[in-house]
Structure 1
Amino acid sequence: MRTAIDAWSAGRRPYLLLVLLCLALHLPGLAALPPFDRDEARFVQATRQMLDSGDFVQIRFQDEARNKKPVGIHWLQAASVGALSDAASTAVWPYRLVSAAAAMIAVLLTFALGAALFGRPAALLGAAVTAGALVVVTEAHLAKTDAALLASALAVELGLARIYLAHRAGQVAGRGAALLFWAGIGVAGLIKGPVVPALALLAAGALTVADRSTAWLSGLRTLWGLPLAVALVAPWLVLVSSATDGAFLGEAIRSDLLPKLTGGQESHGAPPGYYLALLAVTAWPASLFVPLGIAVAWFGRRTPGFRFALAWIVPGWLLFELVPTKLPHYVMPLYPTLFLLAAHAAWTGVAAAGRWRWAMAAWLALWAAVGLGLGVLAVATGFVFADGPSLAAIVVAAAALAAVAGGIRLAGRDAPSAMAAGLAGAVVVFGLLFAVILPRLDGLWLGRSTAALLAREGVPANRTVVVGYSEPSLVFLAGTAIDFADAAGAARHLAAGPGNAALIGDRDRARFAAAAAAAGLDLVEGPAVRGLNYSRGRWTELTLYRRR
């Protein structure tokens, strides 16, 4: 394996290999998976409404202003849909293609970063496992901000690394490094506001404190770099502030940013240590040698490459752990650097000794448990959401078992091969999971089933009201004009016109029946659909009602 990695890390070969790997990991399932609730469905619906209205400044979901996130991801999705599809289509893959492309760019930038920090062989290994990490593969399949944020974060980090490493080598980085840094800051600001700028500021501060010198900061060329970043963001901010009478910034800060900083927004609160506890899961299989990589970096922290990596990871990680609102993907901008450290430790053949050997053995056991758990989960979902596990689920379980067995067997004698074994298993596991297993679990996709029922019954969205289920995926799949109400509102809707229809959830059926009786409605009960409303964690049955 070492000979192969050495050969493939030369010239342009790494880029070709990584592109092919990303295609194998990130494309399967883009078209087959229905839109996920709630964030992805909100993003794609808001982009569709931009295309429908021609207003590319304000962000709206149905009649509600979405004054939370910047506009960047919607522009990218709109460009993709405009080139490959149209707003009337319910195909979600053109929206997701932006995330898949962004994940690929992030992987290629990870290789460039690793080559600067640790050399090309370790960089190739680290970038490859970055492509296959569970959280990266997942975000590459979702039409929201996080894959694009990862790409912009890697651009910023690479620019910062080149500036810092050049200074430590007694040189001055070219303008290209500063351009990459500031352009990345601007793009990141348009994607998700202050997240990446905050990480860059923390990393630069940590390096300045560690080196006890600010001299290297001159390489940032702030006099023209900062205006460049501002120029990328400011025009849209001016336009959206004008269009909303200044409401966008105020609501984004009051309703989105501050609640995340002061409490667990939308029930996503968790104590410090949350991300560390989830690392073995969210980073699988790339997490195999992460503890070893961190230990090696700490002992070699005076070395420029290690110092830079730690400066990017440690302050940012502490920030994410201290912020009360937590979701598993929030720390993803720190993961590629972690994986590069792991790959460097694996490539150089560093072995855990003494008490660290037992700690590493415990981590390997945890890594193995996660891999086996994915296989068990693939099989178990067939019993919960279908009539039993499919052949694809059995293959996934076998691939997960093979990956775990190969990783454990090779970990002590050929670490690069152990990482490659885990990655090979990930290609099979994630490919079948996203392309075959998840799309076929009908009970998991209540929005898809409901939209299909309305289409079969010939009920248009603008004549339909829904009670007891209000997930955004239904808006995207059934149509922007679909409405949501309570039981009394549904009765009034049916009374307003003979062509109207109502979908009533099982928990609201009695209240709806009472309201319909009070209104003197003679109703026809139609077909029903049942599925898991996973956003609320409960099974829901929706029944179609129309006037006789």
Structure 2
Amino acid sequence: MERLTGGIRPYLLLSLLSVFLYLPGLVALPPMDRDESRFIQATRQMLETGDYVRIQFQQEMRAKKPVGAYWLQAASVSLFSDKASKAVWPYRLPSALSAWAAVLMTFAFGQYLFGRQVALLGAALLASSLILVSEAHQAKTDAIMLATAVAAQGALARIYLGARGTAAVPGPLVALVFWVAIGASILIKGPVIPAISILTILALGFADKQWAWLVGLRPFTGLIVASSIAAPWFVAISNATGGAFVGEAVKGDLLPKLLGAQESHGGWPGTYLALAAVILWPGSLLLWPSLTAAWKVRLRPEIRFCLAWIIPAWVMFEIVPTKLPHYVLPTFPALALLMAVAVVGRAPDLLSRPAKVWYGIWCLIGLVLAAAVVVAPQQFAISFPVMSIPSALLVAGTALAAGWLAFRERMRPAVMALVLTAVTSFQVVFEGVLPGLDYLFVSRQAAELVAERPHRGAVVVAGYAEPSLVFYLGTDTVLTSGEAAAQHLTNGPAALTLVSDREEEKFYAAAARIGVKPVVVGVVKGFNYSRGKKVTLTAYAVEGSVP
């Protein structure tokens, strides 16, 4: 292990691991509904209009997140593609690179807390977690936000430990890193990371009954730095929208999440604890025994800091009624480091009877996930991929090997097996299984159908309004009713419309009323996972050839 931690080797190893985890599927996986597709379509409209202040989804103001992620996506598309391309990977590249950066920064600051062995294992466990791999494959904010979280919390940790006398007192550059990260995080996802840092500071301050260490943050200068990063765009968007963006972001997005389950994404307190074994998989094998071990030595300043990072933030996310699995992602670097501390220190809690019971439960979870590699294609693929069966056996085999090694008290080999489990599992899932689930990607099927049918002008769509279809068909796509779709066919043979089964009756009634005879030119069937319902889209035109 010592040979792997010298010089730049950890950075090279973690970079290689990130390539294996984050690149497979980046190109092959279609746009995901709904958040990712809204992001990439809004970014495309920035590129189309040249307006990099306002965030629009078609004609609607998208007052959900600040502009930072859109700017990064726009820069990536400008460098590697163009606004007319339907390739989604350039939009996803900032997320993949941010996940990689978060992993490297976890090692960089983790070595100051616990040494290079712990930092390397912790960063590898973070890199391999299911939710981070998932976010690295989506053009959203969360992987980017994680990078800012690690930068901010890592700098905060160095200032705290320097004040406690367990590490060298950092210079002003570390405080600058903290405030730059805070400013950038506000541009990415508003108040989330500042809230986590404030909760960490409050937890440490009340636990230690000491506040003098905060001087090292240089708060007055720092607030100016953070404000200079975040404020200009907020001023610009307020001027451009007459204050409507900020008002809608607070009233239409933030407050509904705090006061109720927004968009049916609700859950009781404790939801994230119940999901932890899956969203942190495969590293969750070590989760509960490691936290037990950490609590027993919570007076150690570096352990204290990690717990202050995790516990208040986790409680905050459990209390907020709106719940999505990725919300707790900013706590994962600290969790991963605590798991690595337990492994390197051979904590007795990892070898206890309750721990071994947990290892057995974890193996069962692994078998369920392996079974999903076979079941999902059976349900949602047009043709069953034969490779799903050996892939599922590989996932199950590596997971069982990791659980067996942990049960036999061989913890470091178990961690290596966990990383191998992640590499094999996620490559199979993101490159092989998910892109082949045709029935889940209705928009992709519909776009292929439209591409085969000669037409002119915008495509009119009735009863199916998923953002991914707008990305595929273009900004001018019209999302409307069955009646309006029938009216569109009066434009002649060049007109094309897509009508869902739930709007078909209205469509035919309107067509009969106005004297149009629709001709079926194609049918797409699938499962709309955003609504949890089956959907059939029928493409209609009128007789004649497109001039």
Name the TM-score, length of structure 1 as normaliser: 0.97
Partner SS for 1:531 = strand
CA shift at 1:496, angstroms? 4.2
Tell me what 1:153 maps to. 149
Separation in 2 of the partners of 1:366 and 1:56?
A: 49
Is the contact between residue 164 and residue 216 of structure 1 (CA under 8 Å) also seen in structure 2? yes
Gaps of 5+ in 2: none
**1:338 is the counterpart of 2:303:** no
Counterpart in 1 of 2:362?
Answer: 367
Structure 2 distance, partners of 1:165, 1:352, is: 26
Residue 89 of structure 2 aligns with an amino acid whose one-letter code is: W
The C-alpha deviation readout for 1:10-36, integer Å capped at 9, x for no partner, is 211100000000001000110111100
Pick one of 56, 59, 67 that aligns with 2:55: 59
The answer to whether the 8 A contact 2:362-2:403 is kept is no
- SS of equivalent residue, structure 2 residue 169: coil
Structure 1 residue 40: deviation in Å? 0.3
Shift in Å, 1:231: 0.3
Structure-2 residue corresponding to 1:467: 462
Letter of the structure 2 residue corresponding to residue 88 of structure 1: A
Q: Give me the whole-angstrom Cα distance separating, in 2, the residues matched to 1:114 and 1:442.
A: 42
Aligned to 1:288: 285
Residue of structure 1 in register with 2:33 after alignment: 37
Match of 1:378 among 351, 373, 378: 373
Q: Choose 376-385 or 76-85, whichever is displaced more.
A: 376-385
Q: What is the deviation of 1:350?
A: 1.2
User: Which amino acid counterpart does residue 58 of structure 1 have in structure 2?
Assistant: R
Q: Deviations over 1:151-175 (max 9, x none)?
A: 0000011000000011111753211
Q: How does 1:67-466 map to 2 (within 5 A)?
A: 67-169=63-165, 172-352=169-349, 357-386=352-381, 389-411=384-406, 412-460=408-456, 462-466=457-461
Aligned mates of 2:541, 2:518 — CA distance in 1: 6
Cα shift readout 1:189-208 (whole Å, capped 9, x = no counterpart)? 00000000000000001111
The residue identity in structure 1 corresponding to 2:379 is V
Match of 2:516 in 1: 521
Deviates more, 1:246-255 or 1:525-534: 525-534
Percent identity (aligned): 49
Partner of 1:8: 4
Return the letter of the residue paired with 2:106: T
Q: Please say if residues 285 and 403 of structure 2, whose CA atoms lie closer than 8 Å, have aligned partners that are also in contact.
A: no
The alignment status of 1:490 with 2:489, answered yes or no, reads no
Following superposition, the deviation at residue 288 of structure 1 comes to: 1.3
Shift in Å, 1:357: 3.0
Q: Determine helix, strand or coil for the equivalent of 1:508.
A: helix
Specify the code of the residue in structure 2 equivalent to 1:8. L
Q: Give the structure 2 partner of residue 478 of structure 1.
A: 473
Structure 2: distance between partners of 1:359 and 1:194: 38
Aligned length: 541
Whole-angstrom distance in 1 between the partners of 2:387 and 2:272: 31
Correspondence for 2:538: 543
Name structure 1 gaps, 5 residues minimum: none
Higher mean alpha-carbon deviation, 106-115 vs 43-52, is at 106-115
Deviation by residue 1:357-379 (Cα, 9 ceiling, x = unmatched)? 34323321232122112210011
Distance 1:35 1:464 in 2: 19
Residues in 2 aligned to 1:56 and 1:366: alpha-carbon distance in whole angstroms? 49
- What amino acid is the match of 2:2? D
Q: Is the 8 A contact 2:459 2:473 kept in 1?
A: no
User: Residue deviations 1:55-94, cap 9 Å, x none?
Assistant: 0000000111111210000000001000000000000000
Per-residue deviation, 1:228: 0.3
TM-score (norm 2): 0.97
